[in-house]
Amino acid sequence: MIIKVCGMRDAVNIRQVESLGIDMMGLIFFPGSSRYITCPPSYLPVKAQRVGVFVNEDSATIESLARAFALNYIQLHGTESPEYCLSLREKGLKLIKAFSVSSPADLAETEKYEGLCEYFIFDTKCEGHGGSGKQFDWSILSHYRGKTPFLLSGGISPESIDDLKNFRHEQFAGIDLNSRFETAPAMKNVEKLQRFIKEFKK
């Protein structure tokens, strides 16, 4: 199972969290986020894959930041169209497309993105674009019949362990952890993450 920790910014915290053996680390390039990162910290992950999170950003900015931060994946967390995804893919970028979920109808949207993304992320529908800290009803995902593997996201916390252990889906590829492990925006509680990851991997 893939473990992604998102919304990192501080070099020391990045190094500590990476040492927990996670697979992906997210950096948020959305100015509206309290986790917004503007310049490269003195340490960036080398073992965990670097994921840049963007919300309805233009392609020149995405390309430029992908180069500057040596990003492995581009996470699109807005209303980016399949055509836009294709254009980024044709530039050699690997994509993760996020979808806000509150009902089975939201999953129908994913069909247009099949074959364009390495992964989907299913997140809680909220006022903003992400980082709500709220879990959605994962049973809705039984309506997802696509072939693209997905990461489960939205308010995952230590209290989610039992739900995670009971969650089954053929395309379930991993989890995305963010605000419920923070001591302050973009600062993760390393001990809390460590305990959770140990329990999750059991």
Ligand X SMILES: O=C(O)c1ccccc1N[C@@H]1O[C@H](COP(=O)(O)O)[C@@H](O)[C@H]1O
Residue numbers at the binding site for ligand X (CB under 6 A): 6-7, 26, 28, 30, 33, 35, 53, 55, 77, 121, 123, 129-133, 153-156, 176, 178-180
Q: Side chain identity at 56, as an amino acid letter?
A: N
45/130 with CB nearer ligand X:
130
106 catalytic residue (yes or no): no
Q: Name the minimum Å distance from CB 66 to ligand X.
A: 17
Q: Between 6 and 74, whose beta carbon lies closer to ligand X?
A: 6
Q: Considering the complex, what minimum distance in angstroms separates the CB of residue 174 from ligand X?
A: 11
CB of residue 135 vs ligand X: minimum separation in angstroms?
Answer: 8
Question: Which residue among the candidates 85, 117, 123, 176 is catalytic per the annotation?
Answer: 123
Backbone angles phi, psi at 194, to 5 degrees: -60, -45
End-to-end CA distance of the chain: give it in Å, rounded: 12
90 vs 148, beta carbon nearer ligand X: 148
**Whose Cβ is closer to ligand X: residue 85's or residue 90's?**
85
Beta bridge partners of 98: 121
6 in catalytic set: yes
Separation of alpha carbons 187 and 87, rounded Å: 34
User: Minimal distance in Å, beta carbon 112 to ligand X?
Assistant: 20
Q: At what angle do helices 11-18 and 190-201 cross, to 10 degrees?
A: 20
Catalytic one of 6, 85, 117, 176:
6
DSSP 135-181: ---GGGGGG---SS-EEE-SS--GGGHHHHHH---TTEEEEEE-GGG
- Which residues are identified as catalytic? 6, 123
